[in-house]
Amino acid sequence: MQIFDSIDSLQTWLKEIQKADKSIGFVPTMGALHEGHITLVNQSNQDNDITVCSVFVNPTQFNNPEDLDKYPRDIKKDLKLLEAANCDVVFLPTVAAMYPDGEKSEDFEFGGLENQMEGKYRPGHFDGVATIVSRFFDIVKPTKAYFGEKDFQQLRIIQELVKQKDYHIQIIPMPIARERSGLALSSRNTRLTPTYKEAAPEIFRILNLIKDWKNDFSVNQTIIKVEEEFLKTPFELEYILICDELSLEPISNWDQSENIRAFIAAYAGDVRLIDNLKIK
Ligand code: PAF
């Protein structure tokens, strides 16, 4: 496994790969890797000649400095996992290399995709994500790039970014990896206290209830039922939204869209968890 920490050395190496017309799969991460990330690497290995994985905690996508400080980091373990997964290249750039003009995001507009949910509750988050992902795309020039559906809004925004910037990159969405209990895998799970860890599968259980409730209740009534259900858990619900999968606009009746997904963000103490489920 090759490890690069400078853009130049990575690009020199990748030039040979591109000259040989080999396909490059790209898995961008912020480290603290888990089985979910590894399924992305495995898929990339299957689909491409070479897999490049970046590990970079991107400061501009954190609206809360404390969240950035507390974001779990374990590069030794990450490298071990990537090596075991047969990842070909790991890119570990510095903040200075990725942000030579200072830690600022560019301004993006994604036709409203960025206004709901994470965009609303984490102002500037998607400008930060789009800035770093477009910089990575410019450096790595992948054939395919892999994004988990756990960050479904991020996935939709990256699909839009690719259109806007006319990148010739195929975005591959990957299903949410879950623990047996149903808890969606997340780097943040390492920060859950035992009480929250034990209760965390409740989030997936409640998401699944929406599938049943949709047969008997309106969208609004369902949302109220979700809010009531959360009051029985130790979590503090930040939002529950039921949206059209493409526009991410909240729907008001079940027949409004053929593709509906429910989205939840909730606090487990000071750990913020998100999850989502396809409802229709
Ligand atoms: O999903 C993530 O881990 C990050 O948002 C990403 C795509 C690596 C950009 O920093």
Residue 18 has a pLDDT of 95
Measured in Å, residue 130 CA sits from the centre of ligand 1 at 9
Q: How many CB atoms lie within 10 A of CB 280?
A: 16
Residues with CB under 6 A from ligand 1: 28-30, 58, 61, 129, 132-133, 151, 154
From the list 96, 67, 116, the residue with the least C-alpha distance to 6 is: 96
Mean pLDDT of the chain: 97
pLDDT bin (cut points 50, 70, 90) of residue 235 is very high
Q: How many CB atoms lie within 10 A of CB 161?
A: 22
Query: Going by C-beta distance under 8 Å and a sequence separation of 6 or more, which residues neighbour residue 94?
Result: 5
Residue 168 has a pLDDT of 98
Residue 220 has a pLDDT of 98
Region for residue 139 given its phi and psi (left: phi exceeds 0; alpha: psi -120 to 50; beta: otherwise): alpha
Asked whether 14 and 141 are in contact (CB, 8 A), the reply is: yes
Is 34 catalytic? The answer is no
Q: HSE of 153 in the Cβ direction (CA atoms, 13 Å)? A: 30
pLDDT digits over 31-55, tens only? 999 999 999 999 999 999 999 999 9
Residue 147 has a pLDDT of 98
Nearest residue CA, atom 2 of ligand 1?
Answer: 29
Residue 263 has a pLDDT of 98
Nearest residue CA, atom 5 of ligand 1?
Answer: 129
pTM attached to this predicted model: 0.96
Q: Using the atom order of ligand 1, give the atom closest to the CA of residue 30.
A: 3
Residue 124 has a pLDDT of 95
Cα 72 from Cα 57, distance rounded (Å): 9
pLDDT digits over 158-205, tens only? 999 999 999 999 999 999 999 999 999 999 999 999 999 999 899 999
Residue with the two structure tokens 């079940």? 254
Provide the percentage of residues in the chain whose pLDDT is more than 90.
98
pLDDT digits over 115-157, tens only? 999 999 999 999 999 999 999 999 999 999 999 999 999 999 9
Handedness of CA 205, 148, 186, 235 (dihedral sign): negative
pLDDT digits over 92-101, tens only? 999 999 999 9
What is the best residue among 61, 71, 99, 118 to mutate for testing ligand 1's pocket, by most ligand atoms within 8 Å of CB? 61
pLDDT bin (cut points 50, 70, 90) of residue 76 is very high
Residue 251 has a pLDDT of 98
What is the best residue among 53, 92, 132, 140 to mutate for testing ligand 1's pocket, by most ligand atoms within 8 Å of CB? 132
Nearest residue CA, atom 3 of ligand 1?
Answer: 29
Nearest residue CA, atom 8 of ligand 1?
Answer: 29
Averaged over 242-254, what is the pLDDT?
97
Measured in Å, residue 170 CA sits from the centre of ligand 1 at 17
